[in-house]
Amino acid sequence: MWLTKPVFLLYWRKMNSKLSFPPELPIWVDQERMSGAPCFKGTRVPVESLFTNLESGLSLDGYLECFPEVSREQAVAVLVYASKSVFQTAA
């Protein structure tokens, strides 16, 4: 598969600033918090932290243990959205 994990993560980071997130996605952006970085709704945990930790080899379960304020459903929804947006653009 041409889309390796590092390529996927670079793409997500590049597109992150250009995307407007659908309302059902558990992401919120507040310019007065976390310098406007997209965070998981109801938290101050940047979405970027999910990708950074997965890239470094941490499992999803390990990530959720480190960030208990992020639910599994939130993390999976973000990963599914990122995957769909990458493959829609690639098609």
Do the strands 27-28 and 39-40 form a parallel or antiparallel pair, or are they unpaired? antiparallel
Q: Is the pTM of this model over 0.85?
A: no
Structural domain count, the chain? 1
The enclosing domain of 53 has a CATH number of 1.10.10.10
Segment 62-67 long-range contacts (CB within 8 Å, at least 24 positions apart): 67/43
- How many CA atoms are closer than 13 Å to the CA of 43, on its beta-carbon side? 17
- The C-alpha atoms of residue 41 and residue 28 are separated, in whole angstroms, by 5
User: What pLDDT, on a 0 to 100 scale, did the predictor assign at position 68?
Assistant: 98
Task: Give the domain range for residue 62.
Answer: 5-90
Tens digit of pLDDT at every position of the chain (91 positions): 445 556 665 665 555 555 567 888 999 988 788 887 889 999 999 999 999 999 999 999 999 999 999 999 999 999 999 888 777 655 5
User: What pLDDT, on a 0 to 100 scale, did the predictor assign at position 11?
Assistant: 60
